[in-house]
């Protein structure tokens, strides 16, 4: 299990000031398979010391065993066990705040009645002014029906709210967009399309999130046909953009020409099919695709791809990308010498990078290296700034190329928290929109620090 997927707890302990108490405690944690992180001194007296000790465990059972041996350690008493992740989410991670302080009647009358009436009338005469005088210019709907939340599956829209909040936080902190989570209490495609279309006037763009395949394809296509603002399914396009950026650098580091390589995609769900589509657009070549679903294979073939099998891809492909959600699907004996393998399923990849490299792969990476947070903020910022009616395949490719070019040295992709990266992606999207004649904004101001 990777470090990122371990359970983390902060344990507040009171240890008597006896020789060996802390050393024996740390040894007991290690003997149970636990990992000790930060240790913080909270309070000290002549008799005892209170510390916060961060511990990591593989699962709940191991965690309980670790806590038990800590409690049994002579001279130690557990005062509190905190889940810092849950604490961070308490009362939610986002909030809507006023941009102006309303502390006198003069201000209130300008932001509300009677002053607001003048603004309403101007917008009624020319609805384009809403982009200038309302928050619509930076509002993005983040919409889910909860059917494909992370790697957890269909857990419902309310359980998906923490993910939607996280997306909103990233949008705001990285590119200044205001993401508004929208939870849909329906999985009916017609109802979803109608609902989003009816609320769309509130927003400058729509981001579809964690909606299961194959429904996500139809929902995005139908919405984009009805709306004159960008509709982006992040699990498709955001993932595909960052995957191709990572693959570009993997090829560079392995001295492989992506446009002359045989590429195989294992798993043709939302991310897999979108990656195939973008790769075929980028290379001009067909992509081999494997999936257990005959419908998924038919969708690939309709796009120009070649239906294949896992065994055929592993035997023939120079580049293998896997997004199946099936841990250990790729066996070491399947790996061909010199292959590039991106096994992107989280939390457990189809094959670990170490196992792939040991089996002869020239390059291998897992999903921890390919995070779509590198894609969606800048893509949406650029699309919103340019006021495009939709995001074209060339705009997505421009974003992928920009991300790849900004990686340093042996990096697969750049730091996802580097705001300069997101600004560059937004700029690339706007410039591509201008080239395609899709930019409807009279003037575009690029985001700054």
CA distance 195 to 144: 12
Coil, strand or helix at 128: helix
Q: Which helix (H) or strand (E) covers residue 263, if one does?
A: strand 263-266
Closest CA to 322 of 397, 413, 239: 239
User: What Cα–Cα distance (Å) separates residue 149 from each residue in 99, 259, 447?
Assistant: 32, 34, 30
Coil, strand or helix at 393: helix
Active site residue 167: yes
Closest CA to 17 of 52, 55, 54, 49: 49
Instruction: Answer positive or negative: Cα dihedral of 131, 140, 173, 271.
Output: negative
11 forms beta bridges with: 53, 81
The secondary structure of residue 387, as a DSSP letter, is T
**Pick the catalytic residue: 93, 106, 112, 440?**
112
**Pick the catalytic residue: 6, 43, 167, 259?**
167
Active site residue 61: no
Q: Which helix (H) or strand (E) covers residue 67, if one does?
A: helix 60-72
Residue numbers annotated as active site: 112, 167
């Amino acid at each position: 299990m990777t470090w990122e997927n371990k359970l983390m707890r902060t344990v507040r302990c009171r240890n008597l000031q006896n020789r060996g108490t802390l050393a024996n405690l740390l040894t007991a944690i290690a003997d149970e398979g636990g990992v000790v992180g930060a240790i913080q001194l909270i309070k000290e007296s002549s008799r005892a010391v209170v510390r916060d000790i961060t511990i990591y465990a593989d699962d709940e059972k191991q965690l309980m065993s670790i806590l038990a041996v800590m409690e049994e350690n002579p001279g130690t008493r557990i005062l509190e066990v905190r889940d810092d992740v849950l604490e961070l989410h308490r009362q939610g991670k986002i909030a809507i705040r006023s941009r102006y302080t309303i502390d006198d009647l003069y201000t209130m009358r300008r932001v509300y009645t009677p002053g607001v009436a003048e603004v309403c009338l101007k917008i009624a005469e020319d609805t384009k002014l809403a982009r200038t005088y309302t928050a619509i210019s930076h509002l993005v709907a983040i919409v889910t029906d909860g059917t494909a939340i992370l790697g957890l599956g269909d857990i419902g829209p309310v359980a998906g709210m923490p993910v939607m909040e996280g997306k909103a936080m990233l949008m705001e902190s990285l590119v200044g967009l205001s993401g508004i989570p929208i939870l849909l209490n329906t999985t009916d495609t017609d109802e979803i399309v109608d609902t989003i279309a009816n609320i769309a006037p509130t927003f400058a763009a729509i981001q579809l999130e964690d909606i299961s395949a194959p429904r996500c394809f139809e929902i995005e296509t139908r919405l984009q046909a009805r709306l004159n603002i960008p509709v982006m399914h992040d699990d498709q396009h955001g993932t595909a953009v960052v995957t191709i950026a990572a693959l570009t650098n993997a090829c560079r580091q392995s001295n492989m020409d992506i446009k002359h390589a045989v590429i195989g995609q294992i798993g043709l769900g939302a991310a897999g099919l979108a990656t195939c589509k973008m790769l075929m657009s980028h290379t001009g070549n067909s992509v081999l695709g494997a999936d257990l679903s005959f419908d998924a294979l038919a969708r690939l073939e309709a796009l120009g791809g070649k239906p294949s099998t896992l065994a055929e891809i592993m035997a023939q492909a120079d580049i293998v990308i896997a997004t199946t959600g099936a841990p250990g699907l790729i066996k070491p004996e399947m790996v061909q010498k010199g292959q590039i393998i991106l096994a992107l399923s989280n939390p457990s990849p189809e094959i670990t990078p170490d196992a792939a490299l040991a089996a002869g792969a020239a390059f291998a990476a897992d999903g921890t290296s390919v995070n779509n947070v590198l894609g969606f903020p800048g893509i949406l910022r650029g699309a919103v700034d340019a006021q495009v009616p939709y995001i074209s395949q060339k705009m997505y490719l421009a974003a992928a190329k920009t991300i790849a070019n900004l990686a340093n040295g042996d990096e697969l992709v750049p730091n996802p928290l580097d705001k300069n990266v997101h600004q560059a992606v937004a700029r690339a999207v706007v410039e591509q929109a201008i080239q395609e004649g899709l930019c409807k904004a009279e003037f575009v101001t690029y985001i700054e620090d």
